[in-house]
Structures are given as structure tokens and as C-alpha cells.
Amino acid sequence: PLICAVLVFIIFLFVNCGPEKKEPEFLMRTALLVNEDHSWYKAFAYFAEIVEERSKGRIKVELYPSEQLAKEIEAIRLIQAEVIDMTTTGSTLTNWFEVATFCELPFLMRDSTDMNRYIKGPVGKLMEEEMIKKAGLRALGHFERGPRHLTSNRPIRHPDDLKGLIIRVPNVPAFVTTWSALGAKPTPMAFSEVFTSLQQGTIQAQENPFAMIHNAGFSEVQKYLNLTGHVISWVYPVVGEKQFQKLPTDLQEIFLQAGKEMQDYEHQLYLENEKNVQEELKAEGMEFIEVDQEAFAKKSEKAIYESLSPEIQKIYRELKKD
């Protein structure tokens, strides 16, 4: 009887010491490039909150900032292997299917009107289909970004000033083509490695929108913000298609609806941030440099066009016409 009593007590302890809350049925692990201060992180935090609440705790979305969980390319592979579940991505998907190049093709889009036309038009539709078919990812919306500019430690006004400059680019073929044609030495590298590499001098420059330059603290290691505005772009918040298909229909609906709300929420944060971010970068000591943008476009246009397959060149010509 004593042994029985002890056993019952042990079982009692075991049952009662478990976690208070019941485990979620679906855990969505999310790899983000940016840190907690960036609008993408905040938008995902908002998404996590509404999804958890509306699913009554059946879905939990866990966020890992600053590429702690995985770098962009790796994150895509891990989502495909169902090890993790969500991330943000865009032109990097060119490594899986070519039409993704239009998310971020230098000197093509002029402004956010062009961008929205692309996203909602045939190119955007094709991209979302290919994303599912070729990369196993489902877009939950899109995040608009500001133009990308070049940062460096010597002022760059004209492509001639780029000679030999080692510049980090994301793992995107069109970026390597563009900066090579412009006379620089592009080096593809994951975002989370950029700060340290700039600090150590293994790279001398990088390019990104204001929000990202600010978020990553590049003003600590870069003096000049050269207003190249070479590309307007967007990224998609994505979930693995297999993971999405495993959700029951009611939860899929919650997920998609929350995705739309995340997009709107992020857009508000993006617009808010754009208002002050330039001043903040200047206050941190960055010097803004006016650039001969036309010269950059002219020098690289042909190489960019020729690097595309005939099928993508055809879409490119149509987009340019409108």
C-alpha cells in the first residue's frame, strides 16, 4: 500500500507540474532578417497576436529576429523541409524561379504606383503561383519598401567612383550583374553578416532601403549615404505551403485574414517610419550624397537586360512599355 501511495503521489506531481497552458496544435516558427525595431518584426508580432487570439490558442506564431533562427536562403530551405514555417522573402526567390527577379530589378520601377501595378497585375499573379509551385511558399500579403541606396566610406556620385569597391549584395543574381556592370566588386552575403564584415573591412559598402540601414545600425560603420535609389522593391511574408495545407479550413481562413491585416498594419508603420528615418540617419552622423542616378541606370541597363532569359525579357519589355 505504501508503494501504491508513493506512486499515486508521483503521478499526481507529474500531472500537476506540467505547463499551465495547453500546448498549441500548430506551432509556426518564423525566421526574420530584421531586429525587433523594424516594421516587419512588429507586423509579424501583430499577426502572431491576432492569430493566437482568433484561433483560441490552437495556433502559436514564434518570432526569431536578426536571422537567429536562419539566414534568408537557409530559412527558405528549412521551411521547405518543414523544420521551420515562416519568413519574409522576395528577389532571393530568383534562385528558385526567375520571375521573382521583378520584386527587385534595378532601374525598372520608378515609384510605388509602378510597384502596386506589378504586384496586382499578371507579374504578381505569376509570382505567387510560382512561389507555391517552385518554392513551396504561400504569400500572405506583401510589404512595400523604400528605394535602396548605397552606403560607403567614400562618397560615390558617379559609377566611375565605384571602381574596385567591394560591395555586399543579397544572394540575388540581378544584383551581382548590376554592380559588376557598374564597376564595383559585388559579394553576395547574408544580411546578418553585413555589420561585422563592414566593421572588419572585408566589404566596404552595402545597399538597402533607409529603414534597413537604420535598423541594422550601419551608420556606426558607414559614413556616406549615396542616394542611388537604384531599386524599388517589395517582399512577401510567407508560410510553407505544406504547413498551410495542414491547417483545418477554419484556421486557414483565420491565417489568410490575419495576413491581410498584417500587410495593412505594416504599411502604416512603413509610412510612419519613412517620415523620420532620414533625419535619424543624419543625426547619427551619416552624410547624404546626391548621385547622378541617370549615369548608374545607363551604365547597367544593357547588362541587366541581357542577363534575363528570353521569356523574362519579354515581360520586362512589356513592363517598360506601360
Does residue 89 belong to the site contacting ligand CS2 (CB under 6 A)? Answer: yes
Binding-site member from 41, 44, 90, 215 for ligand CS2 (CB under 6 A):
90
Nearest distance in Å: CB 101, ligand CS2: 10
Stretch in the footprint of ligand CS2 (CB under 6 A) among 59-67, 83-91, 134-142, 299-307:
83-91
Contact letters for ligand CS2, residues 138-177 (x by CB under 6 A) = --------------------------------x-x-----
Which residue, 52 or 237, is less far from ligand CS2 as judged by CB? 237
Strands 205-209 and 287-289: unpaired
Does residue 191 belong to the site contacting ligand CS2 (CB under 6 A)? Answer: yes
Q: Which of 47, 48, 108, 100 has the alpha carbon at shortest distance from 235?
A: 100
Q: Which residues sit opposite 117 in a β-bridge?
A: none
* Closest residue to bound ligand CS2 by CB: 92
Q: H/E element holding 86?
A: strand 86-89
Cβ burial 189-211 (10 Å sphere, 16+ → b, else e): bbbbebbebbeeeebbbbbbbbb
Nearest distance in Å: CB 209, ligand CS2: 7
- 234: amino acid identity, one letter: W
Cα distances (angstroms) measured from residue 244 to each of 57, 175, 249: 17, 31, 10
Which residue, 35 or 257, is less far from ligand CS2 as judged by CB? 35
Footprint of ligand CS2 on residues 4-43 (CB under 6 A)? 33
Stretch in the footprint of ligand CS2 (CB under 6 A) among 47-55, 88-96, 105-113, 197-205:
88-96
- Specify the DSSP class assigned to residue 285: T
Binding-site member from 208, 215, 219, 222 for ligand CS2 (CB under 6 A):
208
Cα angle 74, 79, 85 (rounded to 5 degrees) comes to: 125
* 197: its cell numbers: 564584415
Which residue, 59 or 172, is less far from ligand CS2 as judged by CB? 172
Stretch in the footprint of ligand CS2 (CB under 6 A) among 87-95, 126-134, 240-248, 303-311:
87-95
Which residue, 72 or 128, is less far from ligand CS2 as judged by CB? 72
Interface with ligand CS2 (CB under 6 A), residue total 13
Stretch in the footprint of ligand CS2 (CB under 6 A) among 85-93, 151-159, 253-261, 310-318:
85-93
In whole angstroms, give the CA distance from residue 87 to residue 210.
21
Helix count and strand count (H, E) for the chain: 12, 12
Instruction: Name residue, grid cell 560615390.
Output: 156
Q: Which of 66, 65, 71 has the alpha carbon at shortest distance from 189?
A: 71
In whole angstroms, give the CA distance from residue 106 to residue 237.
22
Helices (H), 57-205: 72-80, 112-120, 122-135, 173-181, 194-200
Strands 26-31 and 59-64: parallel
Nearest distance in Å: CB 91, ligand CS2: 4
Nearest distance in Å: CB 122, ligand CS2: 21
Does residue 243 belong to the site contacting ligand CS2 (CB under 6 A)? Answer: no
Which residue, 59 or 103, is less far from ligand CS2 as judged by CB? 103
Nearest distance in Å: CB 177, ligand CS2: 14
Nearest distance in Å: CB 103, ligand CS2: 7
Does residue 235 belong to the site contacting ligand CS2 (CB under 6 A)? Answer: yes
* 64: its cell numbers: 526569431
Q: With 0-12 CB in 10 A as exposed, 13-18 as middle and 19+ as buried, what is 295? A: middle
Q: Interface with ligand CS2 by CB under 6 A: which residues?
A: 33, 72, 89-92, 104, 170, 172, 191, 208, 212, 235
